[in-house]
Structure 1
């Protein structure tokens, strides 16, 4: 892939790895990449060991009926990637972690130019945040096997599988807004 080392300091952006996404039926009935959270946890541990900046993004839906509303247990960040002292939590209520938050200001004040993005869901908040990161000029990497999504219904009622949604979202991001890599590639070549 021609990537050697990430420019330090590289920030890890963990998007919406929340308990509400465990209810697969609520989100469409099918999910891909069931190991995404485990891979995210491995990457988070690598970042912590190397004392690199970590930003947890938490979706706080303004819809009181949403599993991701702050009054629902589904809003909680999953135990595998639970923030520890000193790690920033960015709370958002739209798809992009940059809208209505101070994420960009925090990144810029820390002189962070490179982002590694992972989380849920590939075609919504991961994609929207990645597109904005690319447009803002950050060198951006998305970890394909540390992201996941759900199936979607098409306009004519056809079912688009979770894997298809995931793969097309990543294809749309790769080499336009970000470089898409795997957890193993990250561990072997970047840190």
Structure 2
């Protein structure tokens, strides 16, 4: 049974840097994108990266660059920063120039961005979150949505991480205290 609650799909960091972590989830992410698009529901992509200001140091002004170092950080405009080819192709097919991309430099796509305003402007009531990494950017952004008052679903088979244990830890923590953890099939059935 389809829901009357306006939902938005948040596709987190489907970038070249994370390709190996998202190979298994990619077909389900594509299914979700197509489903939301065909139902005229918002799809917002995030793209993580650091500009020269974040990468200059030490000391590094950005917390993540301090954690991972400049060599372990995604450089804005680099090949690693670009969206994965299948995602770029799908964006062109489904959205053309009307694609919504939020550029971010933290795990939480709500910090230092206009994501909150975009969702409010579209009168979204539910955030459905998928992408990479389950236990970092996906989980943190989903918690950010929950903490801002949106009903939030995390799509467990449409996420990926560095390992199965990290993926499962992200799902477990989110499901315990925040929102629903669902499959792609469940999301499609309810939206």
| Aligned residue pair count | 168
Q: Helix, strand or coil: the match of 1:73?
A: coil
List structure 1 segments (4+ residues) > 6 angstroms apart after TM superposition.
Answer: none
Gaps of 5+ in 1: 25-30, 151-161
Give runs of aligned pairs for residues 1-191 of structure 1, distance below 5 A: 5-22=2-19, 31=21, 34-61=23-50, 62-63=54-55, 65-66=71-72, 68-82=74-88, 83=91, 84=95, 85-150=97-162, 162-187=163-188, 189-191=189-191
Equivalent-residue separation in structure 2 for 1:81 and 1:190 (angstroms): 24
Instruction: Please give the root-mean-square deviation of Cα atoms over the aligned residues, in Å.
Output: 1.7
Gaps of 5+ in 2: 56-69
TM-score by length of 1: 0.81
1:95-136, Cα deviation, whole Å (9 max, x unpaired): 000000000011111111111100000010001111111111
For the Cα contact (< 8 Å) 1:12–1:116, is it kept in 2? yes
Higher helix proportion? 2
Residue 66 of structure 1: how far off its partner (Å)? 4.4
TM-score by length of 2: 0.81
